[in-house]
Amino acid sequence: MRLSVLRHHGEDEPGLLAAAFATAGFELELHDGAGTGPLPDPEATDAVVVLGSVWSVYDRSAVGGWIDAELDWLRDLDRRGVAVLGVCFGAQALAAAHGGAVEPAPRKEIGWVELDPGTPDPPGRGPWFEWHGDRCVPPPGAEVLASNEVAVQAFRVGRHLAVQFHPEVDRAQLARWIANGGGSQLRADGVDPDELMELTAGHEAAAAVRAERLVEAFLAGAGSPNQSRVPPCRAG
């Protein structure tokens, strides 16, 4: 089975999610988005992961016209029965593509956060790694799976799963973010990068297990490749 991973920055990798999908029998192809490369062909993939971004979906002056093409592509994937796992910005893009919205969160969430699961299914309580300042307004008919006082943290819409947190994050990914401008951002927000790295090292083994469970839940909701057990989204 084929998995297409769309990233918006060159330093982003699927990390723990790559290992989890490999365990589930997928071969991974990494694609560069944000207008720097062609979007994955819906006919040449069985599932898609859309990773995060430093930008906001609604900030057209920053993201430019490529966001419209990405939202259209997400709707096309839905019509063709290809399930999407949206991570952080990817979750927000799913919300926007299918009739929801994205708005500033009341505060940033940075670090390892426990959630309030709304169902007994994954994603569960966590903790999960968070680094965001926006939040999703889920589309009509979406099933909220987890939340906290800041944001909806996970929801299903049709065959797709959206998570506000970063199940892919391991020490290597966090180190790349810190090295590519994230360190100064963390310090500006009152977070010590070295302490966050140490905390992430302590969470990594358990986070890998949670990532596997999340992928299992995503695939169960998606059904067989290109054949969903649930109808496509009606919005958009």
- Please count the other Cβ atoms lying within 10 Å of the Cβ belonging to residue 62: 11
Residue 205 is predicted with a pLDDT of: 98
CATH number at residue 106: 3.40.50.880
Catalytic residue numbers read 88, 166, 168
The pTM score is 0.92
Token pair belonging to 16: 């723990």
The answer as to whether 233 is a domain residue is no
Query: Would 232 be classed as within a structural domain?
Result: no
- Give the span between the Cα atoms of 162 and 220, in whole angstroms: 14
Give me the helix-helix angle, 15-23 and 193-222, nearest 10°.
30
pLDDT at 123: 83
Task: List, for the chain, all residue ranges whose pLDDT scores fall below the cut of 70.
Answer: 224-236
The whole-angstrom separation of Cα 141 and Cα 127 is 27
Residues 36-46: tens digit of each pLDDT: 889 999 999 99
Q: How many CB atoms are located within 10 Å of the residue 198 CB?
A: 11
- Report if residue 143 sits inside a domain: yes
Give the DSSP H/E element, type plus range, for residue 79.
helix 66-79
Kindly state whether residue 235 falls inside one of the protein's structural domains. no
Can you give the pLDDT at residue 231?
38
Query: Considering the domain boundaries, does residue 236 fall inside one?
Result: no
Is residue 121 a part of any domain in this protein? yes
In a domain, 157, yes or no: yes
In a domain, 231, yes or no: no
Looking at the structure of the chain, the number of domains it has is 1
Boundaries of domain holding 187: 2-222
**Cβ–Cβ < 8 Å for 47, 123:** no
The pLDDT tens digits for 92-111 are 999 999 999 999 999 999 99
Residue 102 bridge partners (DSSP): 136
Q: So what's the pLDDT on residue 226?
A: 39
Separation of alpha carbons 1 and 49, rounded Å? 14
Write the single-letter amino acid at 139.
Answer: P
> Helices 66-79 and 89-97 sit at what angle, rounded to 10 degrees?
70
